[in-house]
Copies of this chain bind each other. A is one copy, B any other.
Amino acid sequence: MKTRPPTATEDSAAETAGQFPFGINVEGLPCIKCPARTSDLCGALSDKNLPALFQASTLIELRKGETLFLDDQPAQHIFNVITGTITVFRTGPSGQRQVVNFLFTGNLLGITPEDHYGFSAEACTTAILCRWERAKFEDLLILFPNLDRQFRLISSKVLARSIDLAYSLGQLTAEQRLAAFINQLHERQSKMASDPMTVLLTMSRADMADYLGLKVETVSRALSKLKVKGVISLPASDRVVIIDRDHLRRLSQSA
């Protein structure tokens, strides 16, 4: 893609430092706020400038089930998931819940130019995140044009995933949705998976059901069907092993 703004190479701007706005120590990577450059934002910054980003953030920890924010709250913070799983969802007036995304290590959360979040988020497992004041984060976007670009790309991927979900919900059967879901998790976990064919289901069946627009029983049945077909195995309820990758792929597509 053609890069429009005629900005400097690499991280630009703050290269002209000496006067880092947060007075940080540039040494000592990796830092605990972004171990092994896991954040989705890292691609935008060099080892040299990465600390400037994370020094501006605060670490927070959530227990399973704690809410991070609700949709009608003012969007004061941006978050980055360090460990654990976060559930992003919308609730209806009669208590129904549609999960719109699961967030894992490295994923960004709270992106919006509006003054309210417009969606809710809670801890699906115990989780550690780092949190920026929104104003401070926006300063960083100005300071590092590459970061801003990366940020826009991430926003675009969020939309793409949301369209994928709509496609799943509108066009696929229960079994196909499950297959597509496992494939999605597989892809997202492949970077840091221990075993290349194992997918971790860090969320409950209820959370999966709320994401896939199904009931828990249906999720359970669909998983069983995939197991009986020999496409996957379930060594534990939170662990799927993909046996026939191509078959799983096909299942997630055809009608």
Contacts and interface: CB of A to CB of B under 8 A. Distances in A.
A156 B116 CA distance: 11
A156 B254 contact: no
A154 to B, nearest CB: 9
A167 B156 CA distance: 19
Interface string A207-224: 000101100000000000
Nearest to A211: B170
A218 B98 CA distance: 23
A156 B255 contact: no
A171 interface: yes
Interface stretch (A31-39, A57-65, A89-97, A194-202): A89-97
A170 B181 CA distance: 15
B171 A98 contact: yes
Interface in A56-115: 90, 92-98, 100, 112-115
A170 B114 contact: no
Given A166-B165, A166-B166, A96 B139 contact: no
A207 to B, nearest CB: 13
Given A162-B162, A163-B119, A170 B1 contact: no
A153 B95 CA distance: 28
Interface string A177-190: 00000000000000
A211 to B, nearest CB: 8
Contact of A113 (B152, B212, B253): B152
A139 B119 CA distance: 32
B254 A94 contact: yes
A247 interface: no
A138 B149 CA distance: 13
B98 A170 contact: yes
Contact of A166 (B98, B114, B153, B160): B98
Interface string A2-28: 101100000000000000000000000
A29 interface: no
Nearest to A5: B142
Nearest to A171: B96
Interface in A105-132: 112-115, 118-119
Interface in A196-254: 210, 212-213, 253-254
Contacts of A90: 163-164, 166-167
Given A98-B170, A253-B94, A163 B163 contact: no
